Structure 1
Amino acid sequence: MSLLVDVGPLRTSPHYRRLWFGNTVSWVGQGMTALAISLQVYDLTHSTFSVGLVGLCSLVPLVVFGLYGGAVADTVDRRLLGLGSAIGSAVLSLALASAAFAGFHHVWFLYAIVALQAVCAALNSPARSAMIPRLLEPAQLPAANALNSMTMTFGTLVGPMAGGLIVGFWGYQAAYTIDAVAFCASLYAMWRLPSMLPDRVGAKRASVLDGLRFLGTRPNLRMTFFSDFCAMILAHPRALFPAVAAAWYGGDARTTGMLVAAPAVGAFLGGLFSGWQGKVHRHGLAVLIAVSAWGTAVAVFGLTRQLWLGLLFLGLAGAADTVSMVFRNTMLQVAAPDEMRGRLQGVFIVVVSGGPRLGDFLAGSVADLASPTVAATGGGVACVVAVVLLGLKWRGFARYDAREPTP
């Protein structure tokens, strides 16, 4: 059994291969644009608060339209929805580039573009995720989700670095233009896909509330979200990094950057060495172990006072998060009926987008009231305790077998 990521889905499905490549290129481009917008907002306002509002402008549309986009994906041809939203994202990048070339520099315009980009992403992501089970065999989905996790991590790491270099050498116009061109890969992949009408499309309507009611009666699928909340809300140390970089490690902004990058590096390596995951059938148990490992790593990070140890345990936390994400997403794709996949992926977007931000607020509040050590170590321990209690309450989750998926 190879430890390296299983690239079988790329070999066996040309449609998935094009979709994965296009998504990888687009993620890098979006990472470039995200950094360029933050830099441009700061250049215009010299206010970190104004830069922080960029995140809020994207969060609200992602949460609102994530649920709506999932419902739409369960009603219409998912190929057309994915293609249309990708075209929208490309047009918005062109608008950014055109404004930069024309000298149209206004913060409100950048905020509006960020919000509209989030709307396009909220419509695109559920459609794209719901397509994958139609392109691959169920046994290949863990490998596909590991490959997808590498795409996101690669874009998160490389995109901002490339964006900083490109803005520094050639300006905002170049970064935005490259992002617009990068969308061509995603557009081509979507164009080549066959029609992706959801099952039972004749119902004409897919209600968000129906999706939530369905989730409320399916304990195994519901647990995929609860377990992620344990990690992302109770044990999310990102907000602590600027403070602990100086207080614990005697570092500066570069140290903060290393702390921010460490979980992403660990997540990428977790995806790279994911070949063993295709042999695992007890996906629920794997999620419980992975989330417990995340919480344990964060708790130990809170006790470290040597930088290399802190980076090591943050990297281990990132690797554990990738394992959890792969199996949680696979359960959503396999155990949910096709006509519900879009709506559940919409809920997934809300959890992924909102959970870490709630975690930032909680960690920052606890650190101010007590200390960063209490916030990190206490949060990690709370995560482990919470996920163990959830596992004891819904014991069927640990017995979930991918060969006989039960939602």
Structure 2
Amino acid sequence: MRVLKKSPLARVLPDLAPLRDSRDFRLLMASGVVTMVGTFVTMVALPFQMWQLTGSYLAVGMMSLAEFVPMVVCGLWGGAIADSLDRQKIILWSEVGLAATASALMVNAMLPEPQVWVLYVVGALSVGLACLQRPSMESLIPQVVRHDQLGAAAVLTSLRWNFGATVGPALGGWMVAELGAAAAYGLDAATFLLSMALLWRIGTRPPAADAAPASLRSLVEGVRYAVRRRDLMGTYLVDIAAMVFAMSTALFPALAEQYGAESATGLLYSAGAVGSLLASLTGRWTARVHRQGMGVIVAAMVWGAAVALAAAVPGFWALFACLALAGAADMISGIFRSTIWNQTIPHEMRGRLAGIELLSYSTGPMLGNTRASLMSQLGGTRFSLGAGGVLCVAAVAALAAALPSFRRYDSRTDEHALTERARRAEQALA
């Protein structure tokens, strides 16, 4: 019997097996593509409308501060309820709430005098609902995808995110400029209605029979479990270090001005998404990697090195290329982290750990941009960019040395991965 060899292209393009084999994963992906575009449209429309109404940079910046507390509280609580209630119902009811918040923003934008406080309050509520939903969404994936296909599923979900991150802001910017903020919010509300129709078809996913009710105690149990797992702590700490030291999007307007390309500032913001999209499209190889811990370390160090190199390059397009490389490395790191999480975390803990994951990759960029702004005040934008990249590489190297179990993680031999694989195989036979 002759075995057909895969073409070089087939070896790098995403593996579509999870989509072929799991109806529920197809529904989740379709829902995610739709809502991701709408969400990014609103992410552009909200600050744009705030600027139109106030003309104040401070007012725009305060929107992030208003969203911080709901993000932290709802992210953690969302993880607790994901382990104690039906995850499909949590996702559905969150979609209802998100459709309502988008509709409220649309109505406010249609008023003769839109109210600024509505943007703060409803925007914060929308972020809270999204963070409440996210742990259930993340913890549902291991339930609908085979254990051996979780790496491929991580690539596909990253591709979904990058599609939204690329198309959504461009569409949002055009809609706000040509049709107004109300149209942008209306599109977002419509995407949630379509998403609900898709998610309704997913089977219910009740919690484990012995699941603990959502409480402060269950939250603490989740944190304790994460702390005991040094490999998991490695995924969180490396990502936070990478973002704190090398995230520098706050510097992009000043960098564009220094290169004499103020009109191309938006390209700098899109560079990382372009690199991430390319990494997702060619990321099939990541599913063949078994030492994902080392993969996270190397990718995070490449991210930092690319940012440091961006400070030294002479031309605008070279800067764009460095930022795109950084975005690609960050996406590869994210794929490996997601694979470790989904391969090793028990079903009954997956929601609470997803809440912790949400905080780890949400707070880092906020702190990183604060760090970048302060360092630029001390030594200029290039100093901030270069020093941040170098500090990132050093911090990741130090964490790799301090966490040998994370550095040596291998999905073929790790006790937690083997336990989960055996449990999933037993469930399949039952």
CA distance in 2, matches of 1:155, 1:197: 29
Match of 2:257 in 1: 246
CA distance in 2, matches of 1:202, 1:397: 28
Selected match of 1:229 from 232, 237, 240: 240
Amino acid at match of 1:33: T
Match of 1:213 in 2: 224
Match of 2:14 in 1: 5
Secondary structure of residue in 1 paired with 2:11? coil
CA distance in 2, matches of 1:246, 1:202: 55
CA distance in 2, matches of 1:345, 1:145: 14
Selected match of 1:24 from 33, 42, 45: 33
How far has the Cα of 1:400 moved from its partner? 1.0
Match of 1:89 in 2: 98
Selected match of 2:372 from 349, 363, 378: 363
How far has the Cα of 1:122 moved from its partner? 0.9
Q: Which blocks of at least 5 consecutive residues in structure 1 are unaligned?
A: none
**In the alignment, is residue 147 of structure 1 matched against residue 118 of structure 2?**
no
How far has the Cα of 1:329 moved from its partner? 1.2
Match of 1:162 in 2: 171
How far has the Cα of 1:403 moved from its partner? 2.6
C-alpha distance after superposition, 1:324-348 (max 9, x if no partner): 0011011112211111111111111
CA distance in 2, matches of 1:250, 1:357: 27
How far has the Cα of 1:271 moved from its partner? 0.6
Secondary structure of residue in 1 paired with 2:249? helix
**In the alignment, is residue 61 of structure 1 matched against residue 93 of structure 2?**
no
Q: Which blocks of at least 5 consecutive residues in structure 2 are unaligned?
A: 1-9, 417-430
How far has the Cα of 1:202 moved from its partner? 3.9
Q: Alpha carbons of 1:268 and 1:260: their partners in 2 closer, same or farther (altered >3 Å)?
A: same
How far has the Cα of 1:58 moved from its partner? 2.1
CA distance in 2, matches of 1:140, 1:59: 34
**In the alignment, is residue 269 of structure 1 matched against residue 278 of structure 2?**
yes
C-alpha distance after superposition, 1:202-233 (max 9, x if no partner): 43345211111111111001100011012100
Q: Alpha carbons of 1:308 and 1:90: their partners in 2 closer, same or farther (altered >3 Å)?
A: same
CA contact (8 A) 1:74 1:201 kept: no
Worse-matched range after superposition: 312-321 or 39-48: 39-48
Amino acid at match of 1:251: A
| Identical positions, percent | 39
CA contact (8 A) 2:108 2:115 kept: no
CA distance in 2, matches of 1:372, 1:102: 41
Structure 1 outlier segments of 4+, above 4 Å: none
Report the count of equivalent residues: 405
How far has the Cα of 1:173 moved from its partner? 2.3
CA contact (8 A) 1:285 1:398 kept: yes
CA distance in 1, matches of 2:109, 2:214: 41
Amino acid at match of 1:62: M
Worse-matched range after superposition: 185-194 or 174-183: 185-194
How far has the Cα of 1:102 moved from its partner? 4.2
How far has the Cα of 1:17 moved from its partner? 0.7
CA distance in 2, matches of 1:17, 1:57: 35
Q: Alpha carbons of 1:406 and 1:200: their partners in 2 closer, same or farther (altered >3 Å)?
A: farther
Q: Normalized against structure 2, the TM-score is what? A: 0.91
C-alpha distance after superposition, 1:75-123 (max 9, x if no partner): 1111111111111001111222233334451000111110110111011
CA distance in 2, matches of 1:139, 1:245: 44
Selected match of 1:191 from 189, 192, 200: 200
C-alpha distance after superposition, 1:255-308 (max 9, x if no partner): 321111101110111111111111111111111111111111111111112111
Aligned residues: CA RMSD: 1.5
CA contact (8 A) 2:81 2:213 kept: no
Q: Alpha carbons of 1:366 and 1:6: their partners in 2 closer, same or farther (altered >3 Å)?
A: same
Match of 2:5 in 1: none
CA distance in 1, matches of 2:413, 2:137: 25
Q: Normalized against structure 1, the TM-score is what? A: 0.96
Amino acid at match of 1:402: S
CA distance in 2, matches of 1:284, 1:80: 33
**In the alignment, is residue 402 of structure 1 matched against residue 411 of structure 2?**
yes
